[in-house]
Amino acid sequence: MIVGLGLIGGSYAKGLKKLGFHLSAIARRQETIDYALKNDIIDEGTITADPEFIKKADIVVFALYPHVFKEWIRDNQQFFKPGAIITDVTGVKSCVVYDIQNMLRDDVEFIAAHPMAGKEVYGVENADEKIFYGANYIIVPTEKNTDEAIEICRELALLLQFGRISSLSPEEHDEMIGFVSQLTHCIAITLMNCSDNELLVNYVGDSFRDLTRIARINENMWSELFLLNKDSLLNEMDKFLAEFKSLRDELAAEDTEGMKEKMRISTVRRALFDK
């Protein structure tokens, strides 16, 4: 079962249904369910937390906003089938994983995961299981997780054709995501806020297009994600500011060697990504 049929939840459903799994889903709006049924993304769906519907599921993937995810578990966990495994796709972990694990019934296990994939568009209409092909997938276990649940989570990633599957603690995950995901969104937002020149589109090259693709952003989701990871993200923003200031000061001082050294480092490090 998938709870939350947005871009990511819809893409999970689409990918798994094509593999022959029976897919049920709970969404907020009936139109979402209707679209998903009509387009063969799910087998059955509902917009209420129907006990009979929920208790049929062996594995449940939550693709909700963090605070909605917690509320849903608080209000509806009594309906889970005993032995059910639940997992998620939430972009922040420390503030979610422990709270959920602490409030959850003993006979249900929550194993957290973060698929490092997305698109700058939203909704089940844009669901596309190909965004996962070869993408990174991070499993975020705690001491409470069993090897069996971690293995089920890994198999889910393999079924969806993710590439590298790795494992981080909630704290390591949040630090990493503050850097590779949240900081980059802050940069893209900032770039687009720097200039209100409507003719920009005539002058940009691929570099500006690439750096701002993610500037089309869901402000409700991302402001929540930023606040829930505030300390890590502030730390990454400050490190970036200091490093950027250093390059700026080298340029001001015409320190060519200093600038070249930073460029050599960036070239060598970035080359590792292309293997």
Using CB under 8 A as the binding rule, whether residue 55 contacts a copy of itself is answered as: no
Q: Which stretch binds a copy of itself (CB under 8 A): 30-38, 42-50, 53-61, 187-195?
A: 187-195
d(CA 95, CA 88): 13
> Rounded to the nearest 5 degrees, what angle is found at the Cα of 110, between the Cα atoms of 108 and 115?
150
Coil, helix or strand at residue 13: helix
Minimum gap (Å) between residue 61 Cβ and a copy of itself: 18
Q: d(Cα 10, Cα 138) in Å, to the nearest integer?
A: 19
In terms of CB distance, is 19 or 200 closer to a copy of itself?
Answer: 200
- Find the helix packing angle between 94-103 and 170-177, rounded to 10°: 150
Cβ of residue 14: shortest distance to a copy of itself, in angstroms? 18
Q: Does 134 bind a copy of itself (CB under 8 A)?
A: no
- Which of positions 212-251 make contact with a copy of itself (CB under 8 A)? 212-220, 222-223, 226-227, 230, 233-234, 236-241, 243-245, 247-248, 251
Q: Exposed (0-12), middle (13-18) or buried (19+): which is 106, by Cβ within 10 Å?
A: exposed
Q: How far is the CB of 200 from a copy of itself (least distance, A)?
A: 7
176 binds a copy of itself (CB under 8 A): yes
User: Given the rule CB under 8 A, which of 25-33, 52-60, 94-102, 210-218 is the region that contacts a copy of itself?
Assistant: 210-218
Q: Which of 56, 57, 60, 58 is nearest to 73 (CA)?
A: 60
